[in-house]
């Protein structure tokens, strides 16, 4: 197997970030397709966010093990949340900073 490029890892990080942000915004993700029966359950969106957060943390951990910088893809606050690893209500409420120029995923 060849080398894993920084560009490849950054693309995976970007995908995981978009996945998490779509889950936060209650937009469609592949999780909806994998578990269509769960949409009827009240916990569905919590599980969906948990799965997306876990994926993001896993790719960040891999980036760190490969010594690939990842923080520049996130705001300072988002990078701090990721470093703390715990998906708290604060993460859910404040991931999208109101004074930030980045907009919600379209």
- The span from the CA of 68 to the CA of 71, in Å, is 10
Q: pLDDT digits over 44-89, tens only?
A: 888 999 999 999 999 999 999 999 999 999 999 999 999 999 999 9
What pTM did the predictor assign? 0.84
Top-confidence residue, 42 or 27 = 27
- The span from the CA of 27 to the CA of 34, in Å, is 15
Domain range list for the chain: 6-94
Q: What does the mean pLDDT of the chain come to?
A: 89
- The span from the CA of 85 to the CA of 57, in Å, is 7
How many other CB atoms are there within 10 angstroms of residue 50's CB atom?
Answer: 14
């Amino acid at each position: 197997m060849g080398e894993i490029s920084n560009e490849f890892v950054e693309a995976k990080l970007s995908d995981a970030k978009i996945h998490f942000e779509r889950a936060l915004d209650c937009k469609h993700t592949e999780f909806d397709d994998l578990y269509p029966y769960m949409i009827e359950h009240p916990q569905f969106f919590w599980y969906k966010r948990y799965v997306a957060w876990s994926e993001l943390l896993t790719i960040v951990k891999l980036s760190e093990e490969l010594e690939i910088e990842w923080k520049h893809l996130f705001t300072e606050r988002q990078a701090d949340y990721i470093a703390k690893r715990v998906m708290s209500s604060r993460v859910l409420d404040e991931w999208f900073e109101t004074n930030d120029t980045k907009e919600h995923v379209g």
